[in-house]
Amino acid sequence: MAITATGYRNRLLAEAPALGIEVSKKQAEKIGIRIARRIESQTVEHDFYESLRILGVISDTTARDAVRNLEAAA
């Protein structure tokens, strides 16, 4: 379940006074949007075979070749 920018804004508005931080609704809105965008950009699903190629486990550029070579090596 992903938290939206509004959820982050509400959480900031609820938690900031307890920490002694003054945050206006407009500031909390901007910060909430920035947090939501940053988290969205960091939660990208990666291709398994591309990850293996990057790590140097396989050097094949296509998934079929990679599977074929892994099965042949096993």
**pLDDT means over runs of 10, the chain (74 residues):** 84 94 94 92 76 70 76 80
pLDDT for res 2: 63
pLDDT for res 16: 93
> What tens digit of pLDDT does each residue of 55-66 get?
777 666 677 777
Q: What are phi and psi of 24, to 5 degrees?
A: -80, 165
Do the Cβ atoms of 36 and 5 come closer than 8 Å?
yes
Do the Cβ atoms of 16 and 23 come closer than 8 Å?
yes
pLDDT for res 20: 94
**Nearest Cα residue to 63 out of 41, 47, 44:** 47
pLDDT for res 27: 95
The rounded distance, in Å, linking the Cα atoms of 24 and 49 is 46
